[in-house]
Structures are given as structure tokens and as C-alpha cells.
Structure 1
Amino acid sequence: MSVFTPLARPELETFLSTYGLGRLLDYQGIAAGSENTNYFISLEQGEFVLTLVERGPVQEMPFFIELLDVLHAADLPVPYALRDTSGQALRELKGKPALLQPRLAGKHIKEPNTQHCAAIGDLQARLHLATRDQVLERKTDRGLDWMLEEGRNFLSHLHASQAELLEQALQEIERHRQAILALPRANLHADLFRDNAMFEGTHLTGVIDFYNACSGPMLYDLAIALNDWCSEADGQLDPVRAKALLGAYAAQRSFTPAEAELWPVMLRVACVRFWLSRLIAAEAFAGQDVLIHDPAEFEHRLRQRQDVRLPLPFAL
């Protein structure tokens, strides 16, 4: 189970007492996390999620709190940090930055249909529109430069066919780096996978886990989401679901010619980012009781993205 920081009931009760939300009824570690420690918290006045941030410098936490406040104010279904009775949103528990947030309704979708994908496209567009005029700056620690450095370091760890695929992708990133960075920007979720969204039926009730959020090209955020929500088991894109997601996004924000040109490249870049991060995690946590996502999933997707026949709709 991916609970990196275990908590005893007495220390949790002490921490929660300052929120004025009543007695602690129950708590349970969440196994799905791969980077942070999360607990479901039941208090007399409702259901909540407690997050202990395990990765990243403490000084960046105000960015996440402010971003979620902005998105909550824009009426997006996102968690936001609750303030304790002294007005503090960011606190500390067992030496880790800690946030208490409302628990959002719904469940994760394992097999999305076109309506789920359209809801994700609409949500991403609204998120980008809510932040593009006043972008909250945060440079991702897993951006293009990270991919180039870590990718080259990892080439020697791979089989010949894998190394060839990765080397080709890294050369493409190098060639297009400046053009990618010049694309229209906003704040990005940067990790909008199926396990970070919740639905009741086909109604999107919540988007969670913003701890990879950053500022950057909106097209990159879209590529990350589409690679997960619209991929078949073998890594191929489902064109019906993909068109639903892209069409819903484009109904809110029109794409530019530069975005249309770089779209196939960006789908491949998004594959490289998660292939590398999963390869690194698999090595770092080998043999430990930590949830590790399969790196091969994104290797297969990267191979399938070598020939992209899915244009962006309504590029102007």
C-alpha cells in the first residue's frame, strides 16, 4: 500500500482538532497513490481527504493552494485546502506538508466512453481558460530538459529496440524544444489520468491530485489526458473517444496553427514523460510495497504514436 507515512490515531486527532469539524470517526490509508500519502478521513461534519506531500519542496505548496482556490472560484469540481480555525491552509504533520480537503463524490472510470472523454475535454478547456490570462508560474520538475537528461541517462538501461525508440524521441524533443515552449500557455493539471477523475454515471464530479500541476503549453496537458483516456489496451488511439475529447475542448478554446502542427509531436512527448518516470520509479522502488505503474504501457503507446492520424479539430 502506498502510504509512505503511517499515522496513529492520537496524532491524527490532535492535528484534526483545529479544524472544528467534530470528532474523528474513522480514517483509512489510500492505496492508489504512487507519490504522496493520502488518507480518507471521516469526521462528524463530513468526509475529507488528508494529503501528506512526500515529494517536492515545501516552498511550492502555496502554488498548489492558490491554484486550487482559483479553480474552485471558477466553479470547477476540484478539491481545495480547508483552513483551520486560525486561517491556515498549509500545515505540517510528522514533518510533512499536510492539507485537508473535502472528499469529492464519484468513482474512477476504468473503461471510459465518449461521454466521459467529452467531459474531460470540456474540463481541461475550462481549466486552461480560467488560468491563461493570469498564469500562476511553476516550472515542472519533469519537463523537456528533465526528459532529455534522464532519457539519455537511461538509454544504457534498455534493450536495443527500446533504446532506439527512446533515442529517436529524445532527438525529436531536442529539435522541437523551442517551438513547444512557445505554444500558448496556461496552468496545467499535467497528470489527468483516469485515476485522477471521478464520475457519477457520465457526470464528472471531481478532478484530484494536482501535485504535478505547473505552468506550460496547454497542448501538452491535452496530450497527457488524451493518451490515457483514449488509448486501447495495445496503446492504439480510439478515434471515436479521441474526437469526442478534442471536440469538447475545441468548443471552449480554438487551437492555433502552431498547435495543430505540433500535435503529433506532443502526443509522443507526453508518452516519453510517463515512460521515463515509470522506469525510474520501477528501479527506485523495486521490491518495496509501493504501487508502481507499468512502464511498458507508455513504451507501447509511444510506438503507436509514431504515425498519428488524428488532427486537431477546427485549428484556426
Structure 2
Amino acid sequence: MSVFTPVTRPELETFLAPYQLGRLLDFQGIAAGTENSNFFVSLEQGEFVLTLIERGPSEDMPFFIELLDVLHDADTPVPYALRDCHGTALRDLCGKPALLQPRLSGKHIQTPNNQHCAQVGELLAHIHLATRERPIERRTDRGLEWMLASGAELAAELDAKQRQLLEAALQEIATHQRSILALPQANLHADLFRDNVMFEGTHLTGVIDFYNACSGPMLYDIAIALNDWCSTAAGALDLPRAQALLGAYAALRPFTAGEAELWPVMLRVACVRFWLSRLIAAKSFAGRDVMIHDPREFEVRLAQRQQVTLTLPFAL
């Protein structure tokens, strides 16, 4: 189970009391987390999610709280931070920064169809439009410079074929770094995978896990989401799903000529980011009872993205 910091019932009851949400009925750890400790919490007045922040500096937490408030005010289905009776959103539990948030309805979709992908495109557009005019600044700790540095270190541990694939991608990142950072910016979810979105049928009911959120190029956010939602089991792009996602997004926020030009590059950049982070996680948590996503999934997707026929709606 991916709960890095165990919590006892008495500790949790003491933590929850200032929220004045009634008696604690039940709680359980959530096994799906790979970076933070998460718990489902049942109280007399409803269902909630408790998150203990395990990675990243605590000084970043006001950013997440403010971003979720902005998105909640824009009617985006996000798990904004609840305040206790003193108006405090960020508190301490077991020596870790902790947030209590409403539990959103719905379930994760493992086999998305075109309708699911279109709603994900709309969701991304709403997130970007809500923050485009005044992005809340936060530099990601897994950005282009991190990719170049971490990739150079990890390349030596790969076999010849993997190393060639990675080094070519890193060279491309270095070549286009300035152009990528000049693309239109907003706040990004930056981790909008299937396990971070909930649906009831084909209706999108919630988006969670904003702890990789940052400010940056909107196109990067789209590439991250599309690589997960619109890939086949073999790692290739499913064109109908991809076109549904991009079309729904573009109907709300049209793409620019610069974005259209860099689109194939950005798909590869997004693959590199998660290939590297999964390699690092597999190395760091080897032998521990922690969910580790397969790094090879993004190695295969990066190989598949060497030739990209999918264009942005702008370029059709």
C-alpha cells in the first residue's frame, strides 16, 4: 500500500476535530498513491480525502491551495482545501503538511472512448482559461532543465538502444528549449492521467492530484494528457480519441501557429518526463511496498512518437 506515513485513529480524530464535521466513522489508506499518503475519511457530515504531503517543500502548499480555490471558483470539479474553524487550510499531521478535501464522486476510466477524451480536452481548456490571464507562478521541479540533467545521469544505466533513444530526445529538448518556454502559458495540472480523473458513465465528475501543478506552456499539459488518454496498448496514438480530445480543447481555446509547429516535439518531451521520473521511482522504491509504474511504458511511447502524423486542429 502506498501510504508512506501511517496515521492512527486517535491522531486522526484530533486532527479532524477543528473541522467540525462530526464524528469519525471510518478511514482507510489509498493504495494508488506514488508520491503522497492519501486516505479516504468518512465523517458524519460526508466523505473526504486526507492527503499528507510527502514530496516537495512545504512552502509550495499555498500555491496548491490558491490554485484549487481559483479553479473551484471557476466551477471546475476540483477537490479544494477545506478550512477548519479557524480558517486554516494547511495543517500538520504526523509531522507532515496535511489537507482535507471533499471526496469527489465517480470512478477512474481504464479504457476511455472518444467521449471521455473529449471531456478531458474540455477540462484542460477550462483549467487553462481560468488561469491564463493571471497564472499563479510555480516553477516545476520536473521541467526541461531537470530532464536534461536527470537524463544525462540515467543514460549511463540504460542499454545501447535505450540510451540512443533517450539521448536523441534530450538533444531535441536542448535544441527547442527556448521556443518551448516561449509558448502561451497558464497553470497546468501536469499529471492528467486516467487515474486522476473521475467519471460517472461518460460524464466527467472530478479531477484530483494537483501536486505536480505548475505554471508553464499549455501545450505541455495537453501532450501529457494525450499521451495517456489516447495511446493504444502498444504505445501508438489512437487517432480518433486524440482528435476528440484536441478538437474539444480547441473549441474553447484555439491553438497558435507556434504550438502547431512544436506539437510533435512536445509529445516526445512529455514522454521523456515520465520515462525519467518512473526510472527514478523504480530505483528509489525497489523492494518497498509502494506502487511503481512501469518506466518501459513511456520508453515505448517515446519510440512510437518519433514519427507523429497527428496535427493540431489549427493545422488541419
Q: TM-score, normalised by structure 2?
A: 0.99
Tell me, in whole angstroms, the C-alpha distance in 2 between the residues paired with 1:143 and 1:156. 21
Aligned to 2:312: 312
Tell me, in whole angstroms, the C-alpha distance in 1 between the residues paired with 2:68 and 2:220. 20
Aligned to 2:58: 58
Q: 2:136–2:187: 8 Å Cα contact kept in structure 1?
A: yes
Q: Deviations over 1:156-189 (max 9, x none)?
A: 1000000000000000000000000000000000
Tell me, in whole angstroms, the C-alpha distance in 2 between the residues paired with 1:45 and 1:110. 31
4+ runs deviating over 4 angstroms: none
SS at match of 1:48: strand
Q: Deviations over 1:114-134 (max 9, x none)?
A: 000000000000100000100
Aligned to 2:227: 227
The unaligned stretches of length 5 or more in structure 1 are none
SS at match of 1:40: strand
Show the 5 A alignment for 1:75-94. 75-94=75-94
% identity of equivalent residues: 75
Show the 5 A alignment for 1:160-199. 160-199=160-199
Aligned to 1:18: 18
SS at match of 2:313: coil
SS at match of 1:206: strand
Aligned to 1:272: 272
Q: 1:151–1:170: 8 Å Cα contact kept in structure 2?
A: yes
Tell me, in whole angstroms, the C-alpha distance in 2 between the residues paired with 1:196 and 1:51. 14
Tell me, in whole angstroms, the C-alpha distance in 2 between the residues paired with 1:92 and 1:10. 15
Q: Deviations over 1:204-254 (max 9, x none)?
A: 000000000000000000000000000001100000000000000000011
Tell me, in whole angstroms, the C-alpha distance in 2 between the residues paired with 1:285 and 1:41. 27
Tell me, in whole angstroms, the C-alpha distance in 1 between the residues paired with 2:57 and 2:288. 24
Aligned to 1:238: 238
Q: 1:48–1:101: 8 Å Cα contact kept in structure 2?
A: yes
Aligned to 2:281: 281
Aligned-residue offset at 1:308:
0.2
Q: Deviations over 1:84-124 (max 9, x none)?
A: 00000000001100000000000000000000000000000
SS at match of 1:112: coil
Aligned to 1:95: 95
SS at match of 2:83: coil
Residues matched between the structures, number: 316
Aligned-residue offset at 1:274:
0.0
Show the 5 A alignment for 1:114-193. 114-193=114-193
Aligned-residue offset at 1:315:
4.7
Two-structure CA RMSD over aligned residues (Å): 0.7
Tell me, in whole angstroms, the C-alpha distance in 1 between the residues paired with 2:12 and 2:198. 26
